[in-house]
Amino acid sequence: MVVSPGARGRQAVQLWYSNPMSLSRTKPLPTARLFWAGMLLLALMALFVAGCTDNISTANDLVQDSETQRLAATDKLRRSTASIESLVRSAAAGQTLPASQTLNTAAGAKDDLNSGLEELAGRDDNLSQAQALQLNDRYQEYLDLLKQSNVKLTDTLNKAMAIPQLIENEQIPLAGWDEARAKQVVVQIQSLQVDIDRLYNESELLRNQAEQLRRDNPEEFGE
């Protein structure tokens, strides 16, 4: 059967009135889908950026806590070193050291160093927590340098611990009972002090590299 053009037009009008979207549904839908897909992408990007910002803020807090711990540990190291150096100077000058003085000094130095090592263990934990966060590569490199620095500083304090231990073991020669041995002990202590300075400088070199990286890339650290 042949359908006249007029009949086709009436059918189209009737179809439009029964379902107005039927003739125009094919084109608007892709545009709508693109719009909502774009909105979803923007929302996901906003969430991602917010998450990164929160992670950087959390990492910065952990790094600040770790720096407080580092300063406390280095203060304990300096205090123990100062008390030991006084004994070493006296022994190097040939003075006899009363056993009570050497033992008290050695015990105090060991207490300071043990306390410092506890601070550094806590610092390592804080830096590890920061590394576990989703951070940019620059921040992770910064944390890695700080961790390496902390290892060197821990080695420094462990090396320093050998001096009060040596003084305790050699209290009799240092008290004037064996002058030749006392001189040998002084040489051993001075050699340990050289190693301590070397390890500390290596630790500071790594820390300074980390801080330079942060200064050169402030935007990567939320600054």
- Give the pLDDT score at 125: 98
Return the pLDDT at 23.
Answer: 44
CA–CA distance from 45 to each of 79, 137, 140, 172 (Å)? 51, 19, 22, 71
Residues in the chain: 223
The residues of the chain scoring below 50 in pLDDT are: 1-5, 12-13, 15-17, 20-26, 43-51
C-alpha distances in angstroms, 11 versus 2, 7, 14, 18, 60? 14, 6, 5, 11, 70
Please report the domains of the chain, with CATH numbers, ordered by start residue.
52-221 (1.20.120)
What Å distances lie between residue 181 and 34, 97, 172, CA to CA?
Answer: 86, 13, 10
What is the value of pTM for the model shown? 0.75
Note the pLDDT tens digit of each residue in 148-165: 999 999 999 999 999 999
Give pLDDT, residue 2.
46
> What gap in Å lies between CA 189 and CA 201, rounded to an integer?
18
Main-chain dihedrals φ then ψ at residue 17, nearest 5 degrees: -70, -35
- pLDDT at 99 (0 to 100): 86
- The pLDDT assigned to 192 comes to 96
DSSP secondary structure, the chain, as one string: -PPPHHHHHHHHHHHHHH-TTTTTSTTHHHHHHHHHHHHHHHHHHHHHHHHHHHHHHHHHHHHHHHHHHHHHHHHHHHHHHHHHHHHHHHHHTT----HHHHHHHHHHHHHHHHHHHHHHHHHHHHHHHHHTS---HHHHHHHHHHHHHHHHHHHHHHHHHHHHHHHHHTHHIIIII-HHHHHHHHHHHHHHHHHHHHHHHHHHHHHHHHHHHHHH-GGGGT-
pLDDT value at position 41? 55
Mean residue pLDDT across the chain: 84
